Structure 1
Amino acid sequence: MAKPSKASLDMIRQLVEMPTVSRDSNLDLIHWIRDHLKGMGVESTLVHDATGKKANLYATLGPQDRPGIVLSGHTDVVPVDGQDWHTDPFRLTEKDGLLYGRGTSDMKSFVAIALAYAPQFLAQPLQTPIHYAFTYDEEVGCLGAKRLIEVLKEMPVTPKACIVGEPTGMQVIGQHKGKKSWRVDVRGFECHSSLTHLGANAVEAAAELIAFIKALARKKKAEGPFDAEFAPPHTSLHTGTVQGGTALNIVPKDCSFLWEIRYLPQDDVDALYDEVVAYARDRLEPELKAVDPACGFSFTQISGFPGLATPDSAGVIELAKVLTGANRVSKVSFGTEAGLFSQEAGIPTIVCGPGSIEQAHKPNEFIALDQIAQCEAFMDRLLERVRGKAGPLPV
């Protein structure tokens, strides 16, 4: 088994040991990367959020006047609160061929390996530049990528292809599901539970709508559309949290719940959402408003990202196959920023990175050393391609 380079391991350690939980700022890490690149003569563009406490980083290695290949990854990680870690999650620990730490798999290792290769990219007369795109708040709705793409659209040079390094076991992913999620707030009318005829029960109204969402989920499972390369092979609907009521002997005035749709790229997510809203408005609200006109449902979208549907014939797919040695392209059900780069920025995009999504968000998250070595082999082949020594790029 090939061993990872010290440069990559050191960079992984550097990034993992800089906590960047989504609820906190990522500026220490972003500023460190900016200064690290500046030390090699590379200038970075920082794109901040509205608070100024978080930022994306965009940088170009090689020619500035032509489109290149984006290596993209998010810098934020999910919290470790309440998880049973056997090691310090923000201290890289190596044991039995595995590296433990928050973000090792999702997805600081890819970012680190890309950065570790900067000196090699810069040492070559690149015919095709390498762009770095490192984002904030992917874990809470791909917020950073959306802001970065707004800026990319205004730049004089648009990248020709993008590789998002989410953990895929270095398999080439050309399609993934999209996601939209909502908060539903139900307003009822409070009264004593012995006088239910005078009240409007917000919890029961929410439960009826949740049951309708579940019925739609069953319909999708039974009728599709289907794509057997996804697991599950259909669009799914899911309610995750419910909160409401104050005491058993009080008809509850308020209830809220969170629900989501994870949809196949070819499915109509907006039509499904409209069905849910119509059921609430037409079937459930009249009974509530008969008690008090102020009663009813309100819907607030809390997150969303488009699906990815890069055709197998796309040049970026052909490039990824060459870089990985893969013979096929796969599909995954989890979402990434790739759909945004593809649909919002118009950049042909695939997902391919080291590690396993099965480790993402879990306690004792790890990445295998052989995955790091495979990603380095990927970068070695990419280096040969962008320096023009292995024939023309297919993108």
Structure 2
Amino acid sequence: MQAIEILERLVGFPSVVGTPNGEIVAWIRHYLKSHGIAATELPGPEGDRSNLFATIGPVEVPGYILSGHMDVVPAAEAGWSSDPFRLRAEADRLFGRGSTDMKGFLAAVLAAVPALAATRLRRPIHLAFSYDEEAGCHGVPHMIARLPELCARPLGAIIGEPSNMRAIRAHKGKAAARLTVKGRSGHSSRPDQGLNAIHAMTGVLACANVEAARLTHGPFEDVFEPPYSSLQVGTLKGGQAVNIIPDTCEAEFEARAISGVDPAVLLAPLQAAAEALPQLGFEVEWRELSAYPALSLAADAPLARLLGELTGIEPLAAVSYGTEAGLFQRAGIDAIICGPGDIGRAHKPDEFILASELLACQAMVEALARRCTA
């Protein structure tokens, strides 16, 4: 099958983040099996979605991981010119949810499978396809934990997020959390008989504002824009009417951290402020939504040099968005980002990828296979 045909099949599976993904997993497994490649399905703790791992070549020898996620963001936003889960072609453009982020990479890799299977690889190429990346990289940690039983320690992992086929060496880490404060409702004329949850939340919001300002003073890492860690309040909900004491208030916080900084630690002052509220009679729930570490690969790392040679382009130092790459690096596996498409097209109506970008990615994968024969 050609990459476009495979992409058409993959886009046709509405594998929206947080939903069962059995259909797309089964199709990929069947496709790999048709080329003599056994894939291991790795169910997550949710019970209705799985990671998928396969090896082409000698499993006992260190090789390279090609990593991508099978889930996509929802496509309910207005502005789509056609069914987002039916691939539509206009000249070189291929429209569909996930075409760029990141089923295009999966399609290019799978299109290269026949060539990889026919090559006498001395070093293996592993396919590591994850679930629920769009929820904050929830699926891939379970697969990474299983790697020691699945293969020899890999030499590196290539994460195929859209990068215009230019390798990327670094990104910030991220942590997000939701705080729910519960007080006691009542008529606004008798504030003495209620507990105003919005008022209680303002202390945590003030803490967030102070911490966000503090982070602008460093530490710094010049490869990023901005060159410092950041923190923000992303959502705020509460109240029913102006004359009702609000009994519930909910806020979501996000921190993005430069290399060497744990993003979860950046949220710790906010959590501490929240945990002081029960002393005033409020109930609080602090729930972690997502967390993944930063990626930082040295410019002279063998994996960076390899990707520069495979793509013919010097790797980019850093990007603002996050990926699963930092999780591989934290597990002791060098990681780098390189995939087809442009991140600027992702998470939008009429998301698209170019057919030429699919072919360029497939060529890169096949070039990697040739390196693995030496």
Letter in 2 for 1:74: H
> Are residue 348 (structure 1) and residue 343 (structure 2) matched?
no
Matched with 2:43 is 48
> Are residue 110 (structure 1) and residue 105 (structure 2) matched?
yes
The offset of 1:233, in angstroms, is 2.4
Letter in 2 for 1:247: A
Matched with 2:137 is 142
Letter in 2 for 1:153: P
> Are residue 273 (structure 1) and residue 267 (structure 2) matched?
yes
Shift of the 55–328 alpha-carbon distance from structure 1 to 2, 3 Å rule, reads: closer
Whether the 8 Å CA contact 1:225–1:267 is kept in 2: the answer is no
TM-score using structure 2 length: 0.94
Matched with 2:321 is 334
Which secondary structure state, in structure 2, belongs to the residue aligned with residue 105 of structure 1? Answer: coil
Give a deviation string over 1:367-393, Cα, whole Å, max 9, x none.
1233223213312321221122xxxxx
Matched with 2:178 is 183
The offset of 1:156, in angstroms, is 5.2
The offset of 1:298, in angstroms, is 3.1
Whether the 8 Å CA contact 1:12–1:109 is kept in 2: the answer is yes
Alignment map for 1:309-324 (pairs within 5 Å): 309-324=296-311
Alignment map for 1:55-70 (pairs within 5 Å): 55-70=50-65
- Inter-partner Cα distance in structure 2 for 1:7 and 1:334: 30
Give a deviation string over 1:246-291, Cα, whole Å, max 9, x none.
3321222221111111111233434422222333455xx3xx744x
Matched with 2:77 is 82
Alignment map for 1:215-254 (pairs within 5 Å): 215-221=210-216, 223-254=217-248
Matched with 1:128 is 123
Alignment map for 1:188-199 (pairs within 5 Å): 188-199=183-194
- Inter-partner Cα distance in structure 2 for 1:82 and 1:269: 30
Letter in 1 for 2:232: H
- Inter-partner Cα distance in structure 1 for 2:228 and 2:78: 31
TM-score using structure 1 length: 0.89
Question: Does 52-61 or 154-163 show the bigger shift?
Answer: 154-163
- Inter-partner Cα distance in structure 2 for 1:68 and 1:106: 25
Unaligned residue ranges in structure 2 (runs of 5+): none
Runs of 4+ more than 6 Å apart: none
Letter in 2 for 1:387: T
Unaligned residue ranges in structure 1 (runs of 5+): 1-5, 389-395
Give a deviation string over 1:215-257, Cα, whole Å, max 9, x none.
3223323x12223322232212122222222332122222111
Matched with 2:346 is 360
Letter in 1 for 2:257: Y
Identity, % of aligned positions: 39
Matched with 1:381 is 367
- Inter-partner Cα distance in structure 2 for 1:26 and 1:224: 42
- Inter-partner Cα distance in structure 1 for 2:167 and 2:21: 28
Letter in 2 for 1:207: T
Question: Does 161-170 or 196-205 show the bigger shift?
Answer: 196-205
> Are residue 261 (structure 1) and residue 255 (structure 2) matched?
yes
Letter in 2 for 1:185: T
Whether the 8 Å CA contact 1:182–1:303 is kept in 2: the answer is yes
Whether the 8 Å CA contact 2:231–2:266 is kept in 1: the answer is no
Shift of the 233–96 alpha-carbon distance from structure 1 to 2, 3 Å rule, reads: farther
